[in-house]
Amino acid sequence: MTFLLAFLLGGTLCALAQAVFVAAKLPNPIPCLILFFCAGGALGVFGVVPMLEELCQAGMMATVLDPGFGIQAGVFSALAGDPKALVALLATIAIMIVMGLVAGAIASSRAAGK
């Protein structure tokens, strides 16, 4: 049953994201992804993201909403005096950005070599 719920939630979120991408008619999806990232933080404040994580288990953690919730929870813990969660999340995001830049540089150099 957990797999079915995770599949239904993930499918619903993907359909919603696709509808926003199509309706926005933007040349790239980055503004829409930022919208969902911020929505994750806002939904986390109201307790929606933890409820969905409990209902659908790990399936919710793979969506774009969860990093926004992670930032929100990290900021709250930093304000409470424990910045470790926020530092770990920001370090993970920085590592992912560097990996993306390296992969882009490699792909660009291969395309230029052809």
Structure tokens at 83: 């910045």
Decide if 17 contacts 64 (C-beta within 8 A).
Answer: yes
Structure tokens at 97: 């950005």
| Angstrom distance (rounded) from CA 53 to CA 6 | 9
Question: What would the mean pLDDT of 44-48 be, rounded to a whole number?
Answer: 80
| Angstrom distance (rounded) from CA 9 to CA 1 | 12
Q: pTM of this prediction?
A: 0.53
Q: What is the pLDDT of residues 51-65, one digit of tens each?
A: 877 777 655 555 556
Q: Sketch the domain layout of the chain as residue ranges.
A: 2-113
| Angstrom distance (rounded) from CA 101 to CA 64 | 20
| Angstrom distance (rounded) from CA 89 to CA 60 | 17
Structure tokens at 31: 């503004």
